[in-house]
Structure 1
């Protein structure tokens, strides 16, 4: 009978029901004002029962019935809503036949139908208004008395024309919706592409870690926060694959790439959640660690170093690879270059002492400790 009611349509249905009640109450208030303060031909009994109470019960019952239909049979919701609007319009027209333009109220349900962009509903609404017009014409002598022969033809024609115009508006509205959807989809696709490109610009494609430029941004921010005292101190670690040139020379660059990718994966798996890792140069990695003290940072680096030493590479004929690590903790007064030089010196120290080890500078000491 009808497509399911969407959440947005349900919201508008509630607003329309509220509007129906508002129209009915406003009409009753206008009738009371006219009866109390303007010349009115009806007596108290005739006014309060036939003009006020009975029509209000009829229209109110139609609105309430539509609400109950929506609650128990939502597939009829739209038709019930239009029918209630038609009863409301006919009720008001019948009580105000001396107002010549009052027949324009037949457009109320048509305007309601336009909101939902449903062609069948619009056809149903137009036919219902024409049927309501002729029924009112046949049943109400008062209504007939105010209509001319031209009105009998023009009112249904006016309803049909308005329904056709409403149908055209609905078609155009659907086109606009489609155009908007297409534009939004294109915009969303551009945003996704931009996000991908932005990520690619920040990442090293081989290892999936940050590249050097992005790492420098994080490094600068860490230094700023630490200098301002708004963030706990941090540690810088430099990690280098031992004898990497020999690996490339002996097994080829593809094997070297496989080692790089595996080491990077191990770094990501073992890196503390708050840490930042990047491929800083050919076989060198840089880590930012935000541990409570340098000892915790060294333990994190040792976990990475140990895990790497346990890897076995088919590309290296079943052999493994090792890394050396240098760690330095930030101290007040150190700039980017000075801290980097400390970590680099510790990395050199680890290499000199035999490789596959971690060397660090104790906090607030500035002296090497292997």
Structure 2
């Protein structure tokens, strides 16, 4: 998680805690109003001593905390909130010193510190709790008289024991967080590995183009799209001329360099919606999906001409040429028949001089030829 996210979450939780402290003030005022109806203390004295004075102290404390939350950044906000909870608890217990069980309110800072999952903040909270307890003992006459030193020691030990339990909760929480983090990182690594393996399964390692298997998967889908939605679809099969001579004369390393160069040139000449694959050996297949037949043919010719212009250092500074078979899909033709038409056109280009593009006869012309034969 980045620092910006951490700071945002810290401020959000601190804001929630501070809102909770405001709620304590409101609840305290409501309870005092209820006590006002049953107390034997004179009304004026009760309002001054138990309502106005403590509410003013609490309100001032919360205003200071609000200012600190807006002015301070990072971990200092956390310490301000812990200290605020200690002051609020001290005021409540000091005013209502006759209610012994309210001493438990002094444990509020420790409870607040649990939100931060940090031992040093838990320790800071415990110090605040014990400091409030001893300050109350020495400054509040009623508490000083009501609680013996043994009782004070017992309460202090109880607070320490409760804090030890809180420390155990924090340790267990951090252990779970580390486990969750480890689990998340493992899943992330597995996802990356899966994506990488999927890419390796679908692409040719040398040229980084799609491979033979992936070509046929997309080929079938695109034909389905054509049959259902009339998607324009053309196929070009590109074969490097005399490639065996390149390997035999200059070695396979030179042949690999030529293959990569030709692959990069083809990829550079097609659009984002077109599909390029290394079909096998020195053959490449290009599926055009967003062009009219004339535009696709122009792109094919540009590919052929551009390849013929490039010289290859690995090939002794000579260029290579390609022969291409090309055709547009005819509705109802089927994948196998379409591919064979283009492959036949490629064979014709290779056998009639190479470095040329032959447009395959459409199915009707092939049918007429077979009838004449």
The TM-score, its normalising length taken from structure 1, stands at 0.90
Paired residues for 1:213-292 under 5 Å: 213-229=213-229, 232-292=231-291
Structure 2: unaligned runs, 5 residues or longer: 367-373
Secondary structure of 2:311's aligned partner: coil
Task: Report the CA distance between 1:350 and its aligned residue.
Answer: 2.5
Task: Report the CA distance between 1:188 and its aligned residue.
Answer: 1.8
Task: Report the CA distance between 1:336 and its aligned residue.
Answer: 0.9
Secondary structure of 2:48's aligned partner: helix
The whole-number CA distance in structure 2 between the counterparts of 1:237 and 1:277 is 10
Residues 294 and 363 in structure 1, CA contact (< 8 A), matched pair in contact too? no
Residues 203 and 211 in structure 2, CA contact (< 8 A), matched pair in contact too? yes
| Aligned-CA RMSD value | 2.5
Residues 134-183 of structure 1: CA deviation (Å, up to 9, x unaligned): 21222223434554554322221122222222223323333333333223
1:87 matched to 2:83: no
Paired residues for 1:33-182 under 5 Å: 33-36=34-37, 39-74=38-73, 76-144=76-144, 146-147=146-147, 149-182=149-182
Residues 226 and 233 in structure 1, CA contact (< 8 A), matched pair in contact too? yes
Higher helix share: 2
Residues 48-70 of structure 1: CA deviation (Å, up to 9, x unaligned): 33222221221121122122123
The whole-number CA distance in structure 1 between the counterparts of 2:47 and 2:210 is 81
Residues 29-88 of structure 1: CA deviation (Å, up to 9, x unaligned): 22223434xx22233322333222221221121122122123223363222211110111
The whole-number CA distance in structure 1 between the counterparts of 2:107 and 2:173 is 19
Residues 238 and 287 in structure 1, CA contact (< 8 A), matched pair in contact too? yes
The whole-number CA distance in structure 2 between the counterparts of 1:199 and 1:360 is 33
The whole-number CA distance in structure 1 between the counterparts of 2:194 and 2:105 is 52
The whole-number CA distance in structure 1 between the counterparts of 2:350 and 2:176 is 67
The whole-number CA distance in structure 2 between the counterparts of 1:355 and 1:42 is 113
Task: Report the CA distance between 1:294 and its aligned residue.
Answer: 0.8
The whole-number CA distance in structure 2 between the counterparts of 1:52 and 1:361 is 97
Residues 182-241 of structure 1: CA deviation (Å, up to 9, x unaligned): 232222222222221111111111111111111111111111122111x63221111111
Other-structure match for 2:371: none
Aligned length: 363
Of stretches 121-130 and 140-149 in structure 1, the one that deviates more from structure 2 is 140-149
The whole-number CA distance in structure 1 between the counterparts of 2:151 and 2:167 is 24
Task: Report the CA distance between 1:363 and its aligned residue.
Answer: 8.4
1:330 matched to 2:335: no
Other-structure match for 2:318: 319
Other-structure match for 1:188: 188
Task: Report the CA distance between 1:247 and its aligned residue.
Answer: 2.3
Structure 1 residues 312, 95: closer, same or farther in 2, change over 3 A? same
Residues 243 and 255 in structure 2, CA contact (< 8 A), matched pair in contact too? yes
Structure 1: unaligned runs, 5 residues or longer: none
Residues 109 and 128 in structure 2, CA contact (< 8 A), matched pair in contact too? no
The whole-number CA distance in structure 2 between the counterparts of 1:27 and 1:234 is 77
Residues 36 and 43 in structure 2, CA contact (< 8 A), matched pair in contact too? no
